[in-house]
């Protein structure tokens, strides 16, 4: 748990989990009205949230236990009463994304990760916003309260805050 007596924290940015689904999945036709275009993803625009129940029979790809994306994804699946077949577990988002592109399953993925991809880099994946409030979370930068705050740390925190505010 985060102890404010031990750690100080600055707000970096707001983040949102999206559902990334292989383009080869037939369910994409039923979910087409909810699909985020590459332009919407790049611009950071919101779209209507897709009912996760549409994907209840699709295989999923999950990060290892303890990862924040996995924890939030598990909570969203539980609230949606979905118990998916899991095709693979991995430690890294990049690995799961590659498996998703290859058609092995849907995955939860931070919007920041997806929006950094070139719009044409992954035509094999469709992205959807999730309506669940758990899909929105804050990203903070934390450091020990009694850490020596040298010039480099001050510059880093200022740059990170400026960069995060711009997103």
- Stated pTM of the model: 0.83
pLDDT at 73: 96
Q: Where are the alpha helices (DSSP H) in 9-150?
A: 27-30, 38-43, 68-79, 93-101, 111-115
User: Average pLDDT, stretch 126-150?
Assistant: 88
The span from the CA of 90 to the CA of 84, in Å, is 16
Query: Residue 64 pLDDT more than 80?
Result: yes
Query: Residue 121 pLDDT more than 60?
Result: no
pLDDT tens digits along 12-22: 888 999 999 99
Out of 62-66, 70-74, 94-98, 158-162, pick the least confident: 158-162
């Amino acid at each position: 748990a985060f102890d404010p007596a031990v750690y100080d924290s600055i707000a970096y940015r707001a983040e949102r989990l999206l559902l990334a689904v292989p383009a080869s999945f037939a369910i994409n036709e039923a979910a087409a009205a909810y699909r985020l275009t590459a332009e919407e993803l790049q611009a950071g625009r919101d779209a209507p949230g897709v009912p996760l129940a549409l994907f209840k029979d699709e295989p999923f790809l999950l990060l290892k236990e303890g990862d924040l994306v996995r924890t939030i994804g598990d909570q969203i699946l539980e609230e949606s009463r979905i118990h998916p077949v899991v095709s693979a577990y991995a430690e890294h988002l990049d690995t799961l994304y590659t498996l998703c592109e290859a058609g092995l399953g849907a995955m939860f993925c931070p919007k920041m990760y997806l929006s950094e991809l070139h719009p044409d880099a992954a035509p094999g994946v469709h992205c959807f916003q999730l309506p669940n409030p758990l899909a929105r979370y804050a990203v903070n930068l934390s450091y020990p309260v009694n850490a020596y705050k040298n010039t480099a740390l001050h510059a880093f925190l200022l740059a990170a805050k400026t960069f995060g505010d711009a997103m």
